Amino acid sequence: MIREICISKAREENLVLTLEEGCCLSDTQGAIRHLVIGSNWKRDKDVLESMLDLSHVRSLTVFGEWRSFFISENMRFVRVLDLEDTLGLRDHHLEKIGQLRHLKYLSLRGCHNILCLPNCLGNLRHLQTLDVRGTRIFELPTTITNLRELQYLHADSGQNAGGNVKGDDIVQMYDADGFSEGGTCANCVFSSHVFLRPQVLDAGLNRYDIFNLYRFQERQLDGVVLPRGIGKLKVLHTLGFVNVSRSNGKTTLKEIGELTQVRKLRVAGISSENTKELWSAIAGHNQLGSLSVASEIFDGSLDGCLGEGLLPPSSLESLTLEGRLTNVPKWIHMLQNLSKLVLRESYLRQDSIQALGFLPNLAVLRLWDAFTGTHLQFRSSSFPSLMELHLSRLYILESVSFEEDALPKLELLQVDLCVELNGFSGLPAVLTSLKEIRLSNSELKKDVERQVEHMKHVRVNFVD
pLDDT above 90: percentage of residues in the chain: 53
CA separation for the pair 268, 351 (Å, rounded): 27
CA separation for the pair 34, 57 (Å, rounded): 6
Residue 408 has pLDDT above 70, yes or no: yes
In sequence order, which residues have a C-beta less than 8 Å from that of residue 400 and are 6 or more positions away? 375, 376, 377, 378, 391, 415, 421, 423, 424, 425
First to last CA, the chain: 31
CATH number of the domain where residue 121 is located: 3.80.10
Q: Check residue 189 and give its pLDDT.
A: 43
User: In the listed set 141, 167, 188, which residue is the last one of a domain according to the structure?
Assistant: 141
Q: Over the chain, what is the mean pLDDT?
A: 84
Strand order in the sheet with 399-402: 375-378, 399-402, 424-425
Residue 424 has pLDDT above 70, yes or no: yes
The separation between CA 160 and the C-alpha centre of its own chain, rounded to angstroms, equals 13
User: In the listed set 141, 175, 193, which residue is the last one of a domain according to the structure?
Assistant: 141
Residue 136 sits in the same domain as residue 34: yes
Q: Is residue 224 part of a domain?
A: no
Sign of the alpha-carbon torsion through 413, 419, 420, 423: positive
Q: Check residue 306 and give its pLDDT.
A: 53
Q: Which of 61-70, 147-156, 178-187, 389-398 has the lowest mean pLDDT?
A: 178-187
Q: What angle do CA 204, 208, 214 make, to 5 degrees?
A: 95
Residue 296 sits in the same domain as residue 269: yes
Q: Check residue 143 and give its pLDDT.
A: 97
Q: Check residue 303 and give its pLDDT.
A: 63
Residue 179 has pLDDT above 50, yes or no: no
Residue 326 sits in the same domain as residue 363: no
pLDDT above 70: percentage of residues in the chain: 81
pLDDT range class, residue 235, cuts 50, 70, 90: very high
Q: Check residue 308 and give its pLDDT.
A: 59
Element (H, E) at 280: helix 275-282
Residue 246 sits in the same domain as residue 363: no
Q: Which long-range contacts (CB under 8 A, 24 or more apart) does 457-461 make?
A: 458/434, 459/435, 460/436, 461/436, 461/437
Residue 334 sits in the same domain as residue 358: no
Q: Is residue 214 part of a domain?
A: no
Residue 170 has pLDDT above 90, yes or no: no
Q: Is residue 97 part of a domain?
A: yes
Half-sphere exposure for 392 (CA within 13 Å, toward CB): 14
Element (H, E) at 201: helix 198-203
Q: Is residue 108 part of a domain?
A: yes
Residues 221-230 have pLDDT tens digits of 678 999 999 9
Mean pLDDT of 183-202: 46
Q: Is residue 276 part of a domain?
A: yes
Q: Which of 30-39, 84-93, 305-314 has the lowest mean pLDDT?
A: 305-314
Answer with the residue of higher pLDDT: 24 or 158.
24
Beta partners for 185? 179
Mean pLDDT of 254-278: 91
Q: Is residue 150 part of a domain?
A: no
User: In the listed set 141, 171, 192, which residue is the last one of a domain according to the structure?
Assistant: 141
Residue 407 sits in the same domain as residue 433: yes
Nearest to 89 by CA among 69, 112, 118: 112
Residue 7 sits in the same domain as residue 135: yes
Nearest to 155 by CA among 240, 216, 212: 240
Answer with the residue of higher pLDDT: 208 or 412.
412
Q: Check residue 74 and give its pLDDT.
A: 84
> What is the DSSP track for 127-146?
--EEE-TTS---B--GGGGG
Q: Is residue 153 part of a domain?
A: no
Q: Check residue 378 and give its pLDDT.
A: 96
Residue 334 sits in the same domain as residue 368: no
Q: What angle do CA 354, 356, 361 make, to 5 degrees?
A: 130
Residue 402 sits in the same domain as residue 367: yes
The separation between CA 132 and the C-alpha centre of its own chain, rounded to angstroms, equals 9
CA separation for the pair 371, 392 (Å, rounded): 10
Q: Which domain holds residue 115?
A: 2-141
Mean pLDDT of 419-433: 89
Answer with the residue of higher pLDDT: 235 or 452.
235
Residue 359 sits in the same domain as residue 331: no
Residues in the chain: 464
Residue 267 has pLDDT above 90, yes or no: yes
Q: Check residue 6 and give its pLDDT.
A: 84
Residues 393-402 have pLDDT tens digits of 999 999 999 9
CA separation for the pair 436, 326 (Å, rounded): 30
pLDDT range class, residue 460, cuts 50, 70, 90: very high
Residue 313 sits in the same domain as residue 393: no
Answer with the residue of higher pLDDT: 55 or 29.
55
Residue 235 sits in the same domain as residue 324: yes
Number of domains in the chain: 3
pLDDT range class, residue 217, cuts 50, 70, 90: low
DSSP character for 36? E
pLDDT range class, residue 81, cuts 50, 70, 90: very high
Phi/psi at 278 (5° precision): -65, -55
Element (H, E) at 322: strand 318-324
Q: Check residue 178 and give its pLDDT.
A: 44
Nearest to 321 by CA among 354, 300, 301, 346: 346
Residues 271-326 have pLDDT tens digits of 888 888 898 999 889 899 999 999 876 665 666 555 556 678 889 999 999 988 87
Q: Which of 101-110, 176-185, 429-438 has the lowest mean pLDDT?
A: 176-185
Tell me the three-class secondary structure of 365-385, residue by residue. EEEECCECCCEEEECCCCCCC
Residue 126 has pLDDT above 60, yes or no: yes
Q: Is residue 174 part of a domain?
A: no
